[in-house]
Structure 1
Amino acid sequence: MMGWESAAGLLRRAVLEPGRRAAWVKLSLEEVVRAAPAAGTLLVRPDPGGADRWLVEYAGAAEDEMRRWARERLECGEAWSGALWGGAPCLPDASPRVFRLAGGLWVLWAFGIPEEGGIQRFRGAVEDLIEAERRERECLSDGRLKELACALRGGDEACLPELLELVRRVSRAELAYWGGVHDGVVDVRWHVGARSPGFGFELPLGKGVGGRAFAGERPLEVADYLNCQYRYPGVSDATDREGVRSVLALPVEGRSEGSGAVLYAVRRSVDPFSDAERALLARIRDAVEPVGGGALSRRASVTGPGALRLQRTGLRRLLLRSEQVREVEEWLEGVIGCPAILVDSGDRPYASGSLDRLEGLRLSGNEPRSFRLPGGGGSLLVWSRNGGEPSVEGWPDLMEDVLAAFQVILDRAQRSHERLNSRRSRWLRAVAGGQTGEEARREGRRLGLPEEGGEVWAFAWEPDRSGGARLRMVADEVALDMLDGPFITLEEGLGAVLVRGTPPHRPSAVRDALLRHFGPAPLWLVHGAGYESLEGLKEALRMSLPAAEELRASRSGPYVCEVRGRGLDSLLANPRLSDELSGFAKRLLEPLAEYDGRHGTRLTETFCLTLALGSAEAAAGRLFVHPNTVRYRLRRTQQLLGRDLSDPKERTALSLAAFVWLRARDRRRTSVALQRGLDEA
């Protein structure tokens, strides 16, 4: 087992050090030959540099002859068949072990029966290497990381959102955040993927996950934060609200002693990070070290009138960083021991989560004390026990300070929301106007919006200028909670949510939740405009937004409406039609499925993807193969099917079958992933 463990370890080094990757892979294969023992072993994976279709690595006897022999077989369309690898020059009289990997192939010409545990350990390391190289091609090959690292080393915090989005992509994290280290604390203020715009915390060094990681100068991973020993009071409240489960924290070195940062990658399910993901995150961390000074390693300070009174620890911390009205409400309730809710000029709460509490308090019959905000945009309602003004001994100006803090935090939250909403709405309008190139794709990723595999939900309402800013912020909170995506206001009375994947809640339920804040007033929702690319998003927006505006202009129902752009999905959602369409697809594609089953090929998937995506090039990109491979497979599928794709009727029938097959495949994958998550939990 030690030999196999050493071989897997060398592959992990290969992931971490791309500059010496070829040498580490070669050493790893040589270790496999010794551990098996074997006459030779061959590793085939996609060429990371793109110069060749395949990168062929071999160690063992007859090396030059084996390389030529292997390449001849790889030129064959059915190279993944185990039968083709018999009679090798290194061991002509023996049949090899052939392992098909995700995107690659591993062949082992062993003298006997190798230890199965060692084989599986090495195979996992190979798959991690292939996965790491795939993500490198997708996320780290355009030189943008170098630019971000240069800016960050210079102390420029403005690049952090893009860096954190890159962290999310390479590690499949749902949430990423950055905590600058200063004055003995980890100060988390920057984040991407948080449900709450005001998410953040301060954590003493040596405490919690990030504090321990920085103090120990090594990454710290927690499989399930909800049930771990590193939970820290106050911090765990904020992270629990975000649904944090699996966490990986990496310490980032600063220029001066005691300074630096902690980089966090987080999942909202119990799903530990793979070796490849850990290695890619370590590469990002190494690229940005050492981080610069400026705001990354210095605590901000409060200035201006009343600054001394706002130094009270809890309120000061909120005043410095918070953008959440509810956080200040909770702080005040803890100080005075009675309910407190901030409402706008129409007596509607600024925090969506306070609505139920407000309704319950009003039903109790107790009258609150009302304190008007300095800016006149609303009032603070306090239900004190004796009806008097809340007070704290030694703090005579408590309510004045609290109202000033509410005004500062409310103004900050509105400015932050408006800036982000402005960028998102400009991007949506640009896409709707036809800007669907690579720059638009990158901007969508920076904004955390799904540029493919989503659905447009369009909302329309009667413009309410007196509560416009509050409505936009509350709608954003509701959308993040129920649809895991932001509510993008395009103009007064028109907004949209880009829903990633399958919507978690029914349209009517989301509308009902929004009506509690918008009402009493009509609210129209148009849903069902699905898309698979930016081009598709353009068409989905052009269908759904005008439809919502037309419904608003009619000033009548229906108030929840589905566009025609999701017609096929609607058919498949109907149990009666779904069974018939599944049978229809199975009959048409049966020759391909039978061939794939006998020969271990992927003709069905290749054929369906090509029809769905429209070209061999697009299908090749999804399958990580050369377009010529796709064209070869398509010629074989037409021979097996015996159908003429140039015939409009034949092509329509096969396209429908392909859509049904791909939808069933995606549902199976989702089901397997969910079950794996349940098993690991």
Structure 2
Amino acid sequence: MSFPIVVMNNRCRISDEVIHVVRSGTEGGHISNASHPLTLPLVWLVQNHQDWPTVVTALETGLEALVRIGWPLPFHPPEVHESLSYASSPAPARRIPLMPEALYPSYAPTLFVKGLGPGGNSWLVHAVAALRHRWQTEQKQREETFVNLLNEMGIHLYLAQSRPEDIFAALVYYAQRLTQAPVVYTAVRRKSDIIETVSNRGISNPGFGFHLKVGRGVGGTVSKTHESVVIPDYRRSAMRDATVTRMIDDEGILSGAIVPWAMPTGLEGVLYVTHRQAYPVSPTDALLLERFVGGIKDVYQSSEKAKSQHPRSSRFVFLPEDLQLAERLKNVRNTLSWSVFRDTVEALGIRTDITDMWNLSVFPERGELPPRPPNFEASIGCFPYEGTFRVWHKTETPSFNRLWPAIRETASWLLSENQSQEWDQVYRRSSWIPGIRGRTSERQPGRDEQEPQLWDELVGMKRTGSNTEWSRSDTLSVQKLVTGACAGAEVYWDGSFLWLVVRGQKPCETWPRLRQEISRLSAAELIMMSLSRQSGQSVRQALDHMRVKMLEWTRTHSDGTYRTLDSYQLADLLISVDKTSREQFMEHWIGPLVRGQGSQGLIDTLYTYLSTGSVQKTASALFLHQNTVRYRLRKTCEILGLASLEKTSDRENLWLASRLWMMAQHPK
């Protein structure tokens, strides 16, 4: 999603369209102590927008200062994003580390601010929190890529011939995919004191290759000490060896990270991930590479174990670290068994949860989840059945990493298939409603249901605004909330209406609370009406009556509310009159009063007086002096051209017109 940025005098500001879109899309966001009026949309932009100039503009707006952001990238030079006039500003810069708890804080993202005043200083906490959230989201995505690559490499080795050449080629290939570095090559220790290059990607010279004594040069030192090395600028490195200097210079290699690796077969060597430009290589790059080559060792062992137990023609497609668990995951997809999935993933030392688009759990009896944030979080499913998959480690060293893609794929399958089956049940159950009989594309012959005969209360829900259709996923989310609030209720879908048929009386307080919860989760205004069963009344008759009432309400009101139709009040009768007739009636009786100055006070006084019939009670109700009430009534008569308010028909019509006006001003 991209938002428009309005350029004014070489600076940017967030357009009104951005504010509207972000506010509507982040309703209910957990932002507290927000001193800036645009805190919520600005924080959203900093956390999620892909365009860095927009992020900088949002930070400038909230902080009311010039900003610069140093943003490290794995295996690449760090990015720097700053305000247009940051560099030329003479104001002193304030440095704010965004991840001070990082192992190497100097290589973590950093925010610099110039000209920070008292107003911006109070907003700084939101800026830091939003940038931290952005960084942590990117780290989760990189971790997911890391695990997926290991899984792919395991399958690659599982299908290969176990030759050393296969290992070398896979090591270089997947290391380049992980780092996106232009030049990656590896050297193996052939003898006790020599390492030689065996495979590369990105080298332009077909004759590239070297033999290096252990202990000499960068690779020889790493091979001897088994410790990683980072080279910011190879030309200035004291570790460079004269025998390979020219070869390295010819390739234009200037910087990189070099890590040792070892395989269970006894093979060991050095992996080079290099660039053709000098930049301060981060130690975190070397740490990630160390994790990668260490994971390859485990992957190799798993693939060899699988080969010894199963032929290559086996139908396994998952990384076979634990073939029984992989088989159980396949069984989950075949049986759609939540319990088998839960038991399988818990055997891996993790807890999981799957939620729908309203963040409601789709796990039946999921139990208590850890109070801390999840270790992994990923979007799963496909439209219209989408959701989120969350994972918590139960142990410090979980064994699920290699199976993570298979677990996530299985969770996605479970979510989509389960939601699809639930929707089929809701649709078939609703087939008796006349409003959906014309939807033949989804009907299944011979599966129409009969309308429920046993019911005590009917509750209808309809969205207001432009998007009134209840989607499949929203309908299923409402069903979760309704069945949780009232065990004797069933949800029926009717296009733009949802109907709850309740067996057993339910206190009226339940439905207003439920309406507020659904409005909050779906980010839409909602009208809800309830009707208790009358003697001899069928659910179809009650549904038709409520549909008319709800349509009348939505035509005249844009906000949500809860109403009960059990007591037939005057307000219900007035709402049933079409809007044009109401407006014509008001114009005839109080039109001059509405159009004049001070109409609110005069109409309030008129309505209260006609309702109470007493100047004293009117003054007390409106906290006015009795003489003020008398003056307002005289002025009202003058504006309306009436001699007095003594005539009964005038009093009735004026009261009704003022009541309609007040209902239009205050719908609830």
* Higher helix residue share: 1
The TM-score normalised by the length of structure 2 is 0.30
Give the number of the structure whose alpha-carbon radius of gyration is greater.
2
The TM-score normalised by the length of structure 1 is 0.29
* Greater RCO (CA < 8 Å, at least 6 residues apart): 1
